[in-house]
Amino acid sequence: MSSVDFPVEKFRFGMLLSDTRYRSTSLQVITFIFFVAGVFWLVDNTVKNLALLDKDVSFSFLWMRAGYDINQRLIPYTNDSTHATAALVGILNTLLVAFVGCILATIIGVFVGILRLSKNWIIAKLMSVYIEGFRNVPLLLWIVMVFALLTEFTPQPRAFKGENPDASMIIFESIAVTNRGTYLPNPQWGAGSIWLILVFLVSLLGIIIFRRYAKNIQKNTGRNLPVLWVSLGIFFVPTILFYFILGSPVTLEYPYLKGFNFKDGVHIRNSFIALTLALAFYTSAFIGEIVRSGIMAISKGQTEAAAALGMRPNKIMSLIILPQALRVIVPPMISQYLNLTKNSSLAIAVGYMDVRGTLGGITLNQTGREMESMVLLMGFYLTVSLLISSIINYFNRSFQLVGK
Amino acid sequence: MKKSILFGITAALGLSAGAVFADGHGSTLDVVKERGNLLCGVSTGSPGFSGVDDSGMNVGFDVDYCRALAAAIFNDPMAVSFVPLSSAVRFTALASGEVDILARNTTWTYSRDTDLKQTFLGVTYYDGQGFMVKKDLGVNSTLELDGATVCIQVGTTTELNLADYFKANNMSYEPVPTTDNAESKQQYLAGACDTYTTDASALHGTRINLENPDDHMVLPEIISKEPLGPLVRHGDDNWADIGRWVLNALVIAEEKGITSANIDSFADTADAEIHRLLGTGDDDILAMMNMPKDAMYNAIKATGNYGEIFERNLGASSGINIVRGVNNSWTNGGILYSPPFR
């Protein structure tokens, strides 16, 4: 028996590309080298050019005194605080606008999307006009316009002055709408209010337990309990009852005019209102279209089958169509939330002090650290975007079809 | 073998990466001459300092300084491209070479000079921060502004002065940040802020352009020193010298009584400094900074001396009507004082 000797090929340099065993690896290695070299070149070029300008890269400015004031701050901040604190104030302002904006945009968007499919011709057309109007005009213009409306057509605080004022506070003299913002009553948490909060939390727990119970009953017997009314009752009755039993521990501090402006109360600035509303309206137009596409993706047979079982249109929508549509709706919603968050950096147009306005605006300007501020800003937006994506992706998994 | 080749490629790439980097900073004067015009960074609109007239011409105090500089270099005051810059981007634009010189009512401060790596060329205008209010507000002093809402342009020294001043006087305020003079004005007029603060000269210029200037007043207090002047980036001392001495020449010209109209009558003067300045003598001292002998002659001829520029843009004939005050030659009781042209 003779063995066949396959010639053992000696490794040649050319085989790195010609031999399929090596080719993909060597191509990847080459790409990686080019990538690293590119990054190295960019960094090196930047450092050398900065050196030519007699500048270095340093983040020590973050620990220096900021020296400027910020009107809206969610954490304690004065002009003696550091630039880092100023950046943090800006970050919180960005997150606030993004959070409120996303919630508003979702609520409006879902309504608009559903109503655009309405059989009522006028409502459907109105919603079309809303969607086309908002998504086809640049967001910046909407922000500036909402802000201009708020400043030009609301009264100045001075108009509330005097015997016969030109303007007066609304809803039992509790809310002042001015061209500098809206002043709301500020709740004061007196002694005993901790108990009130506890009662409220317990009743929330009660609602959850009752809903589970009602679901079980329905599963086992098919009987429907009046979930909504009972929930509302649990929500309001114990808290209100205890409010009086504890002797009204929570009082409202009403805003009042003193000097140039309203004092006390919660001041919601027009820049915040304008930015949030414009962002919410603009994004809700896109969300509306996503919702509509999600609903239309569910075959008509589902609606007809549900109707055949005797379900009412409201129930069909909330129990049959929407839960299935969510699977189509949620993934593209992520990019809308990301867009809204990133678009909030247009805040400077109305003087809202978000992170672009503090770190990327005033701090950058006063310290001249363009490079460092921009790197930090990009890092921040990147982190927030990735966080939002991962959170929604987590929820998305729970909406997907699960085999039982 | 594979390893050594990879190593070789990496090393080669690394070396070439190290070698390639942009060096765009030769002599600024050569760059400007080659381009054929001067890139001058000005404000986006500050009455009296920088603006556009009815025929579309750039006019203003800062604009005229750049025209004088262009006239010195090219003998053509029109060889300037004006780049409007907001207060927030001006230093970046200068540092990156987008403009050759910044004449944008910029305050000379320590940290801008050192940390921002700029070279200030001198002071064109001694300003201070003031406040404008509506007369019917009933306020007559900045010390009555406790609790007021204040419109302020972001990224300016005024923002820091404001914080310091209110703190020093134990008063509170609410800042309304805006991006430029136009936006501040609009917010102020709409009543979104009680007072608008910026350099007093800009307030006077803004007030005069309001619909009813008499309904508004600039409060008497000046809360800061704001020496405004042109600046260039670090790294080209000769370019800084040119800018500085064109400014000085304008000041000396006023001191010596040289105007754009009578400049030719000094050919036979006995004053040696005038001969050195105008290049009418035998010595060519302007060659020391690579400039033509008649550079300053051309500059003064084109725009007039400091006093003429002031009068045309900020004085009575402009309607803004700012008094010279400290911005007068030292010979007239002001503090404008140029080192000798020698």
pLDDT digits (tens, 9 = 90+) for A25-70: 888 999 999 999 999 999 898 888 888 777 778 899 999 999 899 9
**A67 close contact with B: CB closer than 8 A:** yes
**pLDDT score at A88:** 95
Q: Residues B182, B207: contact at Cβ < 8 Å?
A: no
Nearest to A260 among B87, B92, B194 (CB): B194
Residues B152 and B272 in one domain: no
Q: Please write down the long-range contacts of A43-47, taking CB distance under 8 Å and 24 or more positions apart.
A: A44/B17, A44/B18, A44/B21, A45/B20, A45/B21, A45/B22, A46/A371
* pLDDT reported for residue B23: 40
Mean pLDDT over each residue of chain A, to the nearest integer: 87
Distance (Å, whole) CA B10 – CA B86: 44
**CB within 8 Å: A68 and B147:** no
Q: Which positions 215-254 of B are in contact with A (Cβ < 8 Å)?
A: 233-235
Chain B nearest-CA distance from A142, in A, is: 17
Task: Judge residue A99's burial from the number of C-beta atoms within 10 Å of its C-beta, 0-12 exposed, 13-18 middle, 19 or more buried.
Answer: middle
Domain closes at, from B224, B254, B274: B224
Question: CB A361 to CB B154 under 8 A?
Answer: yes
pLDDT of residue A2: 56
Q: Which residues of A touch B174 (CB under 8 A)?
A: 71, 180, 261
A44 touching chain B per CB within 8 A: yes
- Looking at this protein, which amino acid is placed at residue B315? G
Partner B contacted by A13 (CB < 8 A): yes
Selecting from B95, B155, B163 the residue whose C-beta is nearest the C-beta of A361 gives: B155
Q: What are residue A262's DSSP bridge partners? A: A257
A107-111, A191-195, A327-331: which has the highest mean pLDDT? A107-111
How close is the nearest chain B Cα to the Cα of A58, in Å? 12
Verify whether the Cβ–Cβ distance A351 to B5 is below 8 Å: no
- Looking at this protein, which amino acid is placed at residue A179? N
Q: Could you tell me which of A185, A164, A162, A182 has the C-alpha nearest to residue A174?
A: A185
- Whether residue B155 lies inside any domain: the answer is yes
Of A40, A48, A151, the CB nearest to B187: A151
Inter-chain CB proximity A53 and B95 less than 8 Å: yes
| Total CB pairs under 8 A between chain A and B | 134
Residue A40 near chain B (CB below 8 Å): yes
Q: Which amino acid is at A309?
A: L
The mean-pLDDT minimum among A203-217, A251-265, B143-157, B201-215 falls in A251-265
Lowest mean pLDDT among B2-11, B130-139, B202-211, B244-253: B2-11
- CA distances from residue A285 to A42, A108, A112, A136, A274 in whole angstroms, order as listed: 40, 8, 8, 10, 17
Q: Find the CB nearest A179 among B174, B191, B233.
A: B191
- Residues B221-247 pLDDT 10s: 899 999 999 999 988 999 999 999 999
Residue B270 has pLDDT above 60, yes or no: yes
Q: Is residue B324 part of a domain?
A: yes
Asked if residue B250 is part of any domain, the answer here is: yes
Region B152-169: mean pLDDT is: 89
What's the average model confidence in pLDDT over A301-328? 88
Spacing of C-alpha A95 from chain mean position: 7
Cβ contacts of A49 on chain B, cutoff 8 Å: 21-22
End-to-end CA distance of chain A, in Å?
A: 61
In this complex, which of B148, B177, B234 lies closest to A353 when CB atoms are compared?
Answer: B177
Q: Report residue B304's pLDDT band, with 50, 70 and 90 as the boundaries.
A: very high
| Chain A residues closer than 8 Å to B138 by CB | none
Dump pLDDT digits (tens) for A13-31: 778 778 888 888 888 999 9
For residue A85, what pLDDT is reported? Answer: 94
**Mean pLDDT throughout A367-377?**
88
Q: Is A349 on the interface with B (CB under 8 A)?
A: yes
B164 CB within 8 Å of a chain A CB: yes
ipTM of the complex: 0.74
Q: Are residues B104 and B248 in the same domain?
A: yes
Query: What average pLDDT does range B132-151 have in this prediction?
Result: 91
- Tokens 């005024």, residue? B158
| B255-280 average pLDDT score | 92
Does A362 touch chain B if contact means CB atoms closer than 8 Å? yes
Distance from CA of B249 to the nearest CA of A (A): 29
Q: Is B110 on the interface with A (CB under 8 A)?
A: no
Does A35 touch chain B if contact means CB atoms closer than 8 Å?
no
Average pLDDT over residues B113-142: 91
The Cα B168–Cα A212 span in angstroms is 61
Q: Which of B224, B248, B267 is the last residue of a domain?
A: B224
- Tell me the pLDDT tens digit for each residue of B312-334: 999 888 888 888 889 999 999 99
| Residue B199, SS3 per DSSP | strand
The pLDDT value recorded for residue B308 is: 95
B270–A contact, CB cutoff 8 A: no
Closest CA to B91 of A373, A45, A369: A369
Q: Is B119 helix (H, G, I), strand (E, B) or coil?
A: strand
Cβ–Cβ below 8 Å for B25 and A52? yes
In terms of domains, do B232 and B319 share one?
A: yes
**Least confidently predicted of A156-170, A216-230, B47-61:** A156-170
Assigned domain for B341 exists: no
B339 is a domain residue: no
Say yes or no to pLDDT of B296 above 90. yes
Structure confidence at residue A403 (pLDDT): 52
Both B55 and B66 in a single domain? yes
User: Which residue is closest to B9 within chain A, CA to CA?
Assistant: A33
Q: Are A368 and B116 in contact (CB under 8 A)?
A: yes
Tell me the chain B residues in contact with residue A51 when contact means C-beta distances shorter than 8 Å: none
Minimal-distance CA residue of chain B relative to A144: B183
Q: Say yes or no to pLDDT of B145 above 60.
A: yes
SS (H, E, C) chain A: CCCCCCCCCCCCCCHHHHCHHHHHHHHHHHHHHHHHHHHHHHHHHHHHHHHHCCCCCCCHHHHCECCCCCCCCCCCCCCCCEHHHHHHHHHHHHHHHHHHHHHHHHHHHHHHHHHHCCCCHHHHHHHHHHHHHHHCCCHHHHHHHHHHHHHHCCCCHHHHCCCCCCCCCECCCCEEEEECEEEECEEEECCCHHHHHHHHHHHHHHHHHHHHHHHHHHHHHCCCCCHHHHHHHHHHHHHHHHHHHCCCCEEEECCEEECCEEECCEEEEHHHHHHHHHHHHHHHHHHHHHHHHHHHCCCHHHHHHHHHCCCCHHHHHHHHHHHHHHHHHHHHHHHHHHHHHHHHHHHHHHCCCCHHHHHHHHHHHHHCCHHHHHHHHHHHHHHHHHHHHHHHHHHHHHHCCCCC
| pLDDT at residue B17 is higher than 50 | no
Interface test with A, best of B98, B119, B143, B176 (most A CBs within 10 A): B176
Instruction: Give the domain extent around B198.
Output: 129-224
Between A227-245 and A193-221, two packed helices, what is the crossing angle to 10 degrees? Answer: 160
To the nearest whole Å, the CA of A285 is away from the closest chain B CA by 29
Of B241, B185, B262, the residue nearest B72 (C-alpha): B241
d(CA A64, CA B336): 35
Kindly indicate the confidence band of residue B11, based on its pLDDT and cuts at 50, 70 and 90. very low
Whether B5 sits inside 8 A of A13 (CB atoms) is: yes
Q: What is the pLDDT of residue B306?
A: 95
Residue B18 has pLDDT above 50, yes or no: no
Mapped to the 3 state alphabet, what secondary structure does A123-134 carry?
Answer: HHHHHHHHHHHH
Which segment, A113-117, A182-186, A280-284, is predicted with the most confidence on average? A280-284
Tell me, yes or no, if A68 comes closer than 8 A to chain B by beta carbon.
Answer: yes
Q: Which of B5, B160, B193 sits opposite A68 (nearest CB)?
A: B160
Do residue B231 and residue B320 come from a single domain?
Answer: yes
Please give the tally of structural domains in chain B: 2
User: Is there a contact between A362 and B23 if contact means CB atoms under 8 Å apart?
Assistant: no
CA–CA distance, A372 with A357 (Å, rounded to integer): 15
* Interchain CB distance below 8 Å, A351 and B154: yes
If you average pLDDT over residues A181-205, what whole number do you get?
A: 85
Can you name the residues that pair with B129 across neighbouring β-strands?
Answer: B199
Torsion of CA A216, A219, A224, A229, to 10 degrees: 30
Scanning every residue of chain B, which has its alpha carbon at the shortest distance from the alpha carbon of A357? B154
> Side chain identity at B132, as an amino acid letter?
M
Final residue of a structural domain among B224, B239, B269: B224
Highest mean pLDDT among A283-287, A365-369, B113-117: A283-287
**Across A241-250, average pLDDT:** 80
A55 interfacial to chain B (CB closer than 8 Å): yes
Average pLDDT score over residue span A362-383: 90
| Overall average pLDDT of the B203-224 stretch | 90
| C-alpha span between A47 and A41 (Å, rounded) | 10
Answer whether B154 touches A (CB < 8 Å). Answer: yes
Contacts of A144 in chain B (CB under 8 A): none
Instruction: Say yes or no for a CB contact (<8 Å) between B95 and A70.
Output: no
Q: Hey, are the CB atoms on B149 and A370 less than 8 Å from each other?
A: no
Average pLDDT over residues B81-107: 90
Nearest CA in chain A to B233: A53
Distance CA B153, CA B142 (A): 18
Instruction: State the Cα angle at B105 between B100 and B109, rounded to 5°.
Output: 90
Kind and range of the H or E element at B253?
Answer: helix B237-256
With an 8 Å Cβ cutoff, are B1 and A67 in contact?
Answer: no
pLDDT classification of B305: cutoffs 50, 70, 90: very high
> Inter-chain contact B174–A261, Cβ cutoff 8 Å?
yes
The model's confidence at residue A4, banded by pLDDT at 50, 70 and 90, is low
| CATH architecture for residues A83-185+254-399 | Orthogonal Bundle (1.10)
Determine contact: A90 vs chain B, CB below 8 A. Answer: no
Contact yes or no for B21 and A55 at CB 8 A:
no
From first CA to last CA, the distance across chain B in angstroms is 70
Q: Which residues of A touch B160 (CB under 8 A)?
A: 67-68, 79, 366
Considering the domain architecture, whether residues B170 and B316 belong to the same structural domain is answered as no
Task: Mark which residues 35-74 of B lie under 8 Å from A by CB.
Answer: none
Candidates A220, A219, A242, A215; CA nearest to A230 is A215
**β-bridge mates for residue A183, sequence order:** A176, A267
Any idea where the domains of chain A sit in the sequence? 15-48, 83-185+254-399
CATH of the domain at B164: 3.40.190.10
Q: Cα–Cα distances in Å, from B48 out to A81, B97, B206, B237?
A: 37, 26, 9, 30
Q: How confident is the model at residue B38 (pLDDT cuts 50, 70, 90)?
A: very high
CA-based nearest distance A163→chain B, Å: 17
Question: With pLDDT > 70 as the criterion, what percentage of chain B qualifies?
Answer: 92
